[in-house]
Amino acid sequence: MERTLVMIRHAKSSWANPLQSDFERPLNDRGEHDAPMMGERLKQKGIIPDLIISSKAKRAKQTAKKIAAAIGYNEEKIRWYDRLYHCIPSVFEEVLYEVGDDVKTVFIVAHNPGITDFVNELSDKFKIDNMPTCAVVGAHLQATEWNEFNSVEKTVFLFDYPKNVI
């Protein structure tokens, strides 16, 4: 069965309050604009999730909710994970191993530098220096279960970001 993984870096965050904790930083105006725009781009490409998983950090939560709204996904079904906040690549795999086998397409919203490191491990044919804010990377894989993720070949079919002229 073909499965689809879409990795999404949270949209641009605000640094207006220098005393605010990193975890509590919200989106700035550009982030508020970019997240629904990228959700709309995914929808136009026909990439609709069966499941959205997100970091619990405020900017990631806001990004996930705005993308969900743009594609018509019920935000109450988003799964929130503390451990996706500034995680290392192996944590993404651990989260995927918990995804039900009935889920064909999953979106994960998280943070740099871990998300860039993780997408660079997806395929030898895809490498980026830095995943921009609100960027999306999509990969297809053939697997009967998500816990086969590490052992199957992945094909990156999508790399898009807000400033990409399409």
Q: What is the 3-state secondary structure (H, E, C) of the chain?
A: CEEEEEEEECCCECCCCCCCCHHHCCECHHHHHHHHHHHHHHHHCCCCCCEEEEECCHHHHHHHHHHHHHHCCCHHHCEEEHHHCCCCHHHHHHHHHCCCCCCCEEEEEECCCHHHHHHHCCCCCCCCCCCCCCCEEEEEEECCCHHHHHHCCEEEEEEECCCCCC
47-69 confidence digits (pLDDT tens):
999 999 999 999 999 999 999 99
Any domain includes 123? yes
Q: What is the pLDDT of residue 18?
A: 85
Residue 166 lies in a domain: no
User: pLDDT grade, residue 166 (50/70/90)?
Assistant: low
Q: Evaluate if residue 137 carries a pLDDT over 90.
A: yes
CB 38 within 8 A of CB 8: yes
Mean pLDDT for 72-86 is: 97
Q: What is the pLDDT of residue 67?
A: 98
Query: Is 142 inside any structural domain?
Result: yes
Q: What's the domain count of the chain?
A: 1
Across residues 81-104, what is the average pLDDT?
97
Distance (Å, whole) CA 56 – CA 9: 13
pLDDT at 81 > cutoff 80: yes
- Please state the rounded mean pLDDT for residues 134-163: 97
In a domain, 165, yes or no: no
Read off the pLDDT of residues 8-26 as tens digits, 9 standing for 90 and up: 999 999 998 888 899 999 9
**What pTM did the predictor assign?**
0.97
Residue 44's domain comprises 2-160
* The pLDDT of residue 165: 75
Mean pLDDT over residues 72-87, rounded? Answer: 97
Residue 19 lies in a domain: yes
Residue 151 lies inside a defined structural domain of this protein: yes
Task: Give percent of the chain with pLDDT exceeding 70.
Answer: 99
The pair phi, psi for residue 149, each rounded to 5°, is -50, -50
Residue range 114-138: average pLDDT? 97
- 89: domain CATH number is 3.40.50.1240
